[in-house]
Amino acid sequence: MRLFVGLGNPGSKYANNRHNIGFMAVDEIARRHGFAPWRRRFQGETSEGTLDREKVVLLRPTTYMNESGRAVQEAANFFKLGASDVTVFQDELELPAAKVRVKVGGGIAGHNGLRSITSHIGNDYRRVRLGIGHPGIKELVHGHVLSDFAKSDRAWVEALCAAVADNAGLLVAGHDSSFANKVHLALQAKGFFDKGDDGAA
């Protein structure tokens, strides 16, 4: 069994923020794979289904970003899951838009959602880092992540979430590199990267 956590802030005010791309990704997993309707529990909302013949619980914490760990810990404890069974989908400033990286453990790079999760369940969970680009100036970061995606971003955001959802079974199977590669190739095929781009950030 696996717990897939999408990070974001609850409510319509934040729904299209760059910070909410984790919510968008798990929403698309639920939609594409016919998961059960969302229901409120564990200080969040969950949807259950199957990927690669294994049960997966999707979780969207409704605690606001900086308290995400409370919801993750409650769900993990209920299902008796360790940090290694948890995969977190997060926005990543340090990656160009539409790039994806997967890693287990590591630093939190100032991400308040990751900081909260690490403080509650430890650091050994998988992070699916979804690139949203950096505004270039540190002082603009807060406004950048809490602003909506531009209309011109919509095509790559939708393509990225679709590719993440289509290949999510590879994460369940532990094929992290294959997952990242297939997502990159899907975005490349739609023209978001040059053919010579090997996916390196």
Q: According to the 3-state scheme, what is the secondary structure of the chain?
A: CEEEEECCCCCHHHCCEHHHHHHHHHHHHHHHCCCCCCEEECCEEEEEEEECCEEEEEEEECCCHHHHHHHHHHHHHHHCCCHHHEEEEEEECCCCCCCEEEEECCCCCCCHHHHHHHHHHCCCCEEEEEECCCCCCHHHHHHHHCCECCHHHHHHHHHHHHHHHHCHHHHHCCCHHHHHHHHHHHHHHCCCCCCCCCCCC
110-143 confidence digits (pLDDT tens): 899 999 999 999 999 999 999 999 999 989 999 9
What is the predicted pLDDT for the residue at 108? 85
2-189 is classed in which CATH architecture? 3-Layer(aba) Sandwich (3.40)
- Residue range 41-65: average pLDDT? 97
| Options 19, 111, 144, 184, the catalytic residue | 19
Indicate whether 72 pLDDT > 60.
yes
The whole-number pLDDT of residue 195 equals 60
Q: What is the pLDDT of residues 131-190, one digit of tens each?
A: 999 999 989 999 999 999 999 999 999 999 999 999 999 999 999 999 999 999 999 999
**Whole-number pLDDT of residue 110:** 83
Domain boundaries, the chain: 2-189
Q: Binning pLDDT at 50, 70 and 90, where does residue 197 land?
A: low
**Is pLDDT at 22 greater than 90 in this prediction?**
yes
- The reported pLDDT for the residue numbered 2 is 98
Residue ranges for the binding site for tRNA?
14, 64, 66, 112
The band of 199, judged by pLDDT with boundaries at 50, 70 and 90, is low
Is 111 in the active site? no
Examine the pLDDT at 51 and tell me if it is beyond 70: yes
Average pLDDT rounded to a whole number, residues 57-75: 97
Residues annotated within the binding site are: 14, 64, 66, 112
